[in-house]
Structure 1
Amino acid sequence: MAEACEMSGNGDLEESSAMEASEVPQSSSPEMVEMAEENGSVAELTEIPAASEHSSFSVPSAEENEEKDLPADFERLWLAAHENPPDFTSWTDLLQYCEQEGQVAASRRALEAFLSRYSLCYGYWKKYTDLERRAGDNDKAEEVCVRGLKVIPLSVDLWIHYINLLLGTLDMKLPESPLKIRRVFEDAIQAAGLDFHSDRLWDLYIEWEKEQGNMKNAMAVLERVLRVPTQRYNTHYEKYKEQLNGFEPKELLTPEEYEELRALCRQSQKAERAEQAQEEEQERPPGEEVPATPEGTDTEELMQKIREQVLLRRDKVYQDNEGEVRNRWNFEDAIKRPYFHVKSLDRHQLRAWHSYLDWEIAQLNKDTKESPKQDPNEAATEGSEVTAQLPEEEPEVAAVPQDDHRVRILFERCLIACALYEEFWTRYTQYLESQSVDEARAVFKRACEIHLTQKPNIHMLWATFEERHGDLNEARRVLEAIEKTLPGLVVVRLRRAALERRAGNLDQSLALLQEAVAESKEKTTLHAFYSIKLARLLLKLGRNPTKARTVLQEALEISPDNDKLHMNLLELELSGDPWASAEAVQECVTRALAAPLAPHTKIIFSQRALQFAEEHSSSIKSVLSVYDGHQRLLNELGGTKRGAENGDDDPEKLHKVDDGSSVDASAETQPAVPQVPITTPPPVVGGGDAAAAQAGYAGYSSWYQQPQYGSYGYQNTWNYNQGYYPPS
């Protein structure tokens, strides 16, 4: 059995013995074993910070486990984790308990549940793989590891773990085994080879090819990594030079490049020899013959010249790559937590990721303007794929390309560390949408169905995305899913209703709001809110003021003290035919004045009734009657009026309609209580209706002269008596 593994709360290995020395194939050389150790098979992985420690799975046989019941405390810990799924500690407690009990069935069940929620914890995928392997099921172990790699293909550690698993379980004497290992290496390089910290993966690939005796393949891999900006870029170049000096160039270079350099160096060598022979001819004693040199012989001098030419070419590649590393170094250095954890990142870390993405995208845009776009797949391979035979590739000396694939790799790295932050998922979808709707949709799916299942904003953005691209059914499904997950969210219900309205399904939109009204009767404030929304839709688009009125009246029976309901009902009545609305307006005002509303709110209703009467009444008597009632209300509520006049209350705050659902805009900017007291009425003038001023048409001009009533459209003060009543 392997040694114990120290795990952080994130499932990251602190000490890993993923593969014992005995698990390395028997044909492995000491160098290969050493390389495997360096890449996570036996060595300590000290770069991963620790949060909490867990011992490794100590697993009995599968048959033994089948006979046992689940551990005694398993159900208790299981329920604790499922009752509060976002509580990471409850999950790690469950997993630690299963490990300590050494029960395969319990461990399997716990790991499946945990990884379905926290799939980016690559350390637990490694533990799950080891669990199945130690239970004797190598096929299941490989299946688990592949599942993990599909979720986090950028995990260099998980790729190395998978390769070491294959090295420990495959029969390398079979011809298909090396081919499979090489395919996995190529998949790993394609997926994670551009990661700044992918050096261990490249090194393992190179050493494995050397261990297989494929020096040309090893050299080809080195050729590719020389063009990838990684943390240990300089060590790759040193290995390249060491390899070149340790073997004949013919054993390392492609046939095309070797023959090209050989011919070039031979020509150079012939010119040097001709010059040298001329000098020697002058110094040679008379009659002595020139020693014959065999034609076609490759001397050590020629080999050295070929090496010099190779390094001359590769030095340009190295210098360009060094510049790319230098450009990225500060960005990489600013990233302190490149792995996933539920703990929040500080704002400096978030800003660092945003800055890095800004720079990489800017480099792409700059490069796109300067040169044709490169195939994204070329970035990871940087040349022909390495096969069992010598790869045929032209020598490249170009700079490291700034292509789209590199931007995507950085986004994917970011979404491991920042998986719980909507802003990065949103930014990635926006980046992808202009290139591929399907790829953007896949990112939305990952975000909403795996990592941000309880974040409504990203779900609504996804629904908007689908609606914008014409898939209304998917938009409906997304909104329905988040509403089931988080029932009772007002914004989601309103978004669903709006979606149906835009789709032309007014009946369905109304049905959604009616359902919300019916389900919220126990929550009076929410019930009033939905009722106002439903009434507005019935009035504005349904053209059915009768039903809208009924909805508001029924809501008032439940919430008679809700001033917004009263105000919206009043605005509904005011928006109708003024000749037919007078009685309804008066009834609405009377209801509001009798309701348990705040005094200043009642004054607003009285003022609106007076304004309606002044603007639409056909009789001065009715205007004066409303005016008298308004005066009596002011007298009754004099304390409140004086308080407002003294500035104790802010009219804007008092009259603001919080939910913005008033049917008429004027309801949101109601006038304040008059600040100038109504004065003694002017002398009676003339006869007829004018004589009714004796009854109390007291200084009506003063009411219009209040500056705060500008919101009703009376921007300029004017004396109502001028031009209507002659001066006394």
Structure 2
Amino acid sequence: MGRDRSRSSSDSDDYHRSSRKKEDSHRRRDDRHRDSDRDRRRRSRSNSSRHRRSEGSQRPRSSRHGSDYKDTSLMTRPSVASHFGTPPIDVADFDNWVNILAKVDQNEDVEYAREKYRAFLSRYPNCYGFWQKYAEYEKKMGNIAEAKAVWEKGIISIPLSIDLWLGYTADVKNIKNFPPASLRDLYARAIEIAGLEYQSDRLWLEAIGFERAVYIDELCRGSSKANCKRIGILFDKLLSTPTFHAPSHLERYVQYLNTIEPHLLLNDREYEEIMKMVCKQLDKPIGELVHQVQLSYICQTGENGMLNIVNESGEGTFPVNVNSIQHDPTALQLIRSEIIARRSKIYERNMKECEIRSGFEINIKRPYFHVKPLDYPQLFNWLSYLDFEIRQGQEDRIKILFDRCLIPCALYEEFWIKYARWMWKTYKSKSKCREVYLKAKTHCPTSLNLVLSQSGFEEAAENFDEALKVLDTFRREYPGYVLLELRYLGILRRKAEKEGGTASEYVLNQYEALIKDSQASPNLHSFYSLKLARYHLKSRRDAKLAQKVLKKAVSVDQFNLQLYSQYVDIAYTSESMTELDVIQSFDLALDSNLRLEDKVRFSQRKLDYLEELGNNIQAIEDHRDYHYNLLGQLPDSVTIRTRFINDPNRATLQPAAMPPQQPPPMVYAPQMQQPAMNMMPMMPMQQIQPMTYMNPAQPAVQLTLIEPTSSTM
């Protein structure tokens, strides 16, 4: 068909404009996603440790890694959803697509419409309504085979969508002379895949209704094999499945049982057991309880070519006589009572299962997908529900609940990671776990946590090359993540250790490159320098080289307290360092441009070291003088001053003599001369009024000066 040029041009312009808006909004969103460290830090996850290289130094680094370097257990996460944040999604992008697809439905250019539908559904595959609209569009354009293909793709994308299954089966049933066996297979597939979904009652009842229609069609055609055994099987499964309308299913079963002979509904084994029991109760042989009869029906051909039974004859109807059997009324009552008693036990067990899940189910307010974020109670409820099912240990129900959860929660990486870890622990299947991660990337393409989790899974399965490939692919599209760089280097190191080789030089080159690229960002430069220094110290056992790296970093970031602390700690803890090395490491901080308060702390640490481990008493005394001189430079308002002025080496702390609000007057006690021989002091030292030091910012303490007792010459 020809395309309406004016309409298509307008739609195309809208599409390209919306695409540009989408790219711009995604770019802004990704920048916000990477740069908003302070906001993301509120989320208690590894993602909070994110750093980003400066814009000027960012560049793809995948080419530097070369081609040679091409969660195995479930840890139950506490049911606390405080770490959930708003997912990175552009609602305006979704709204633009909806407007475009609304115009597409009116367009007769099939290829154009397919392009738009496919583009949208590849980005938002959980929107079952648009799969249905897409299939209906293909059907409207006369493309039945394409419509069926769309239904199948939708089912693969959202296997638990009951609405999608019902739309698919309804579409198939409307096909004239469609083979009942094929439709039965479709229902069986739907029940197998989505039958455990809590809202699947309509699907079960549709399947039962279809089997009932098939039974009537066979009955009207005079088939001797016509029976309801498939209906009985479906009802038995439904009565043992926790669903939303489970309380009403036993009543439906009883109503249906009362309309037919029991042997048509039960399987042969159960029917024989019940008949033996009834014959024993009535003390009669089975021949006296069952009678051959001939039944007459008025039949009519339905719209889809299947026969059905009507109450009155009319145009298009015809009579049918069917040979059947009937049970003695007394026996029939006993048989039905026994059948109901057995099903009641199954029903009661199922109701208990429903009851323990009802608290979770009632809190599910949005079981469908939408780009708008879920509120905290619903996220918390899903997480708690998953933890509950995992404790129950029923694998089928756990998997179904994960699949249900990941429809409304598809934009939350936490649930995908939890699913993949459970999948690996339960099935040890690499293909299934990779399938989970593949779906997760569709919904959370910018998630660093997902990439780290997937690389961890591949590494745990000893697929080191695949783990590196996962990181490299993400880095090319979203560069600038520190955690990704560290994970990459960690995989290389662990791979070398596993294979007995050495990747030391390669790891060092990567660290040096990262440090060089971050020159414009002192904080990031220091971060990588600290990591490299730790690598030298722990992996290569080279403390001197570790200090050299830190000393070079200090020249770039002169006010980074962590660099100086690490420099001192290396000297302090390394066995290869001498006393002189430790003293020099302290002096590096003391001779720097750090704040006076920080220098006081380093000075106190140096004094403690010299007192505890130093061998030169003169060095101890010299530094003591330096330390107290440094203390004297502190303003009175600095909190740290009180701590060091109240040093036990200088004063004895005693309780204050008076309440803080009424301090005693300070008494000046001048230094007294040594008394002459046989002369007593003018007044005993212990009677001198003590001096009280008051700091408004600290609790009042009283400092009593300790003087040597005068001796009589």
1:98–1:106 contact (8 Å) kept in structure 2: no
Change (3 A) 1:677 1:160: same
1:197–1:230 contact (8 Å) kept in structure 2: yes
Change (3 A) 1:67 1:617: same
1:254-303 CA distance string (max 9 Å, x none): 455556656766676674999xxxxxxxxxxxxxxxxxx99964675526
Change (3 A) 1:351 1:323: farther
1:122-181 CA distance string (max 9 Å, x none): 22222222233333322222222212211221111111112223234x4526xxx33322
What is residue 159 of structure 1 aligned with on the other side? 165
Tell me how far apart the structure 2 counterparts of residues 576 and 673 of structure 1 sit (CA, whole Å).
32
The aligned amino acid for 1:84 is S
* 2:139 paired with 1:108: no
* 2:443 paired with 1:451: yes
Deviation at 1:484, TM superposition (A): 4.4
Tell me how far apart the structure 1 counterparts of residues 634 and 21 of structure 2 sit (CA, whole Å).
57
What is residue 96 of structure 1 aligned with on the other side? 99
Instruction: Map residues 214-229 of structure 1 onto 2, 5 A cutoff.
Output: 214=218, 216=228, 217-229=230-242
What is residue 337 of structure 1 aligned with on the other side? 366
2:369–2:408 contact (8 Å) kept in structure 1: yes
Change (3 A) 1:351 1:612: closer
What is residue 565 of structure 2 aligned with on the other side? 567
What is residue 638 of structure 2 aligned with on the other side? 643
What is residue 328 of structure 2 aligned with on the other side? 302
Change (3 A) 1:606 1:226: closer
Deviation at 1:531, TM superposition (A): 0.6
Q: Which runs of 5+ in 1 are unaligned?
A: 1-60, 275-292, 365-402, 652-671, 680-718, 722-728
Bigger shift: residues 256-265 or 404-413: 256-265
Deviation at 1:319, TM superposition (A): 4.4
The aligned amino acid for 1:559 is D
Tell me how far apart the structure 1 counterparts of residues 95 and 290 of structure 2 sit (CA, whole Å).
73
Deviation at 1:527, TM superposition (A): 0.7
Tell me how far apart the structure 1 counterparts of residues 182 and 589 of structure 2 sit (CA, whole Å).
81
| Secondary structure, counterpart of 2:429 in structure 1 | helix
What is residue 556 of structure 1 aligned with on the other side? 554
The aligned amino acid for 2:406 is L
What is residue 692 of structure 1 aligned with on the other side? none
> Of the two structures, which has the highest relative contact order with CA contacts closer than 8 Å and spacing of 6 or more?
2
1:586–1:609 contact (8 Å) kept in structure 2: yes
What is residue 313 of structure 1 aligned with on the other side? 339
Q: 2:213 aligns with which of 198, 211, 214?
A: 211
Change (3 A) 1:81 1:264: same
Instruction: Map residues 357-396 of structure 1 onto 2, 5 A cutoff.
Output: 357-364=386-393
* 2:467 paired with 1:475: yes
What is residue 668 of structure 1 aligned with on the other side? none
Bigger shift: residues 185-194 or 532-541: 532-541
1:697-716 CA distance string (max 9 Å, x none): xxxxxxxxxxxxxxxxxxxx
Q: 2:399 aligns with which of 399, 408, 431?
A: 408
What is residue 598 of structure 1 aligned with on the other side? 595
What is residue 192 of structure 1 aligned with on the other side? 194
Deviation at 1:186, TM superposition (A): 0.9
1:226–1:321 contact (8 Å) kept in structure 2: yes
| Secondary structure, counterpart of 2:13 in structure 1 | coil
Change (3 A) 1:171 1:432: same
2:128–2:164 contact (8 Å) kept in structure 1: yes
1:517–1:531 contact (8 Å) kept in structure 2: yes
What is residue 656 of structure 1 aligned with on the other side? none
Q: CA RMSD in A?
A: 4.1
What is residue 24 of structure 2 aligned with on the other side? 83
Deviation at 1:483, TM superposition (A): 4.1
The aligned amino acid for 1:71 is S
What is residue 322 of structure 2 aligned with on the other side? none
* 2:138 paired with 1:138: no
- Normalised by the length of structure 1, the TM-score is 0.64
Tell me how far apart the structure 1 counterparts of residues 447 and 494 of structure 2 sit (CA, whole Å).
24
1:199–1:231 contact (8 Å) kept in structure 2: yes
Tell me how far apart the structure 1 counterparts of residues 12 and 538 of structure 2 sit (CA, whole Å).
63
Tell me how far apart the structure 2 counterparts of residues 270 and 576 of structure 1 sit (CA, whole Å).
96
1:417-437 CA distance string (max 9 Å, x none): 333344444444454443212
* 2:537 paired with 1:539: yes
What is residue 377 of structure 2 aligned with on the other side? 348
Tell me how far apart the structure 2 counterparts of residues 516 and 166 of structure 1 sit (CA, whole Å).
59
Change (3 A) 1:133 1:606: same
* 2:428 paired with 1:437: yes
Change (3 A) 1:265 1:594: closer
1:281-338 CA distance string (max 9 Å, x none): xxxxxxxxxxxx9996467552673465145214422443244235244432232222
| Secondary structure, counterpart of 1:154 in structure 2 | coil
| Secondary structure, counterpart of 1:531 in structure 2 | helix
Change (3 A) 1:330 1:308: farther
Q: Point out the structure with the larger strand share.
A: 2
1:579–1:616 contact (8 Å) kept in structure 2: no
1:163–1:184 contact (8 Å) kept in structure 2: yes
2:386–2:402 contact (8 Å) kept in structure 1: yes
What is residue 15 of structure 1 aligned with on the other side? none
| Secondary structure, counterpart of 1:182 in structure 2 | helix
Change (3 A) 1:516 1:256: same
1:501–1:509 contact (8 Å) kept in structure 2: yes
| Secondary structure, counterpart of 2:160 in structure 1 | coil
1:337–1:417 contact (8 Å) kept in structure 2: yes
What is residue 380 of structure 1 aligned with on the other side? none
The aligned amino acid for 2:547 is R
1:58-94 CA distance string (max 9 Å, x none): xxx5866899555222111122223334213322222
Bigger shift: residues 253-262 or 315-324: 253-262
Instruction: Map residues 510-529 of structure 1 onto 2, 5 A cutoff.
Output: 510-529=508-527
Deviation at 1:355, TM superposition (A): 4.4
Tell me how far apart the structure 2 counterparts of residues 535 and 266 of structure 1 sit (CA, whole Å).
89
Percent sequence identity is 29
* 2:151 paired with 1:148: no
Count of residue pairs the alignment pairs up:
537
1:578–1:616 contact (8 Å) kept in structure 2: no
The aligned amino acid for 1:160 is L
2:459–2:467 contact (8 Å) kept in structure 1: yes
Tell me how far apart the structure 1 counterparts of residues 213 and 133 of structure 2 sit (CA, whole Å).
28
The aligned amino acid for 1:188 is A
Deviation at 1:202, TM superposition (A): 1.6
What is residue 125 of structure 1 aligned with on the other side? 131
Instruction: Map residues 170-319 of structure 1 onto 2, 5 A cutoff.
Output: 170-172=175-177, 177-212=179-214, 213-214=217-218, 216=228, 217-233=230-246, 235-249=248-262, 251-254=264-267, 271=284, 297=292, 300=326, 302=328, 305-306=331-332, 308-319=334-345
- Normalised by the length of structure 2, the TM-score is 0.65
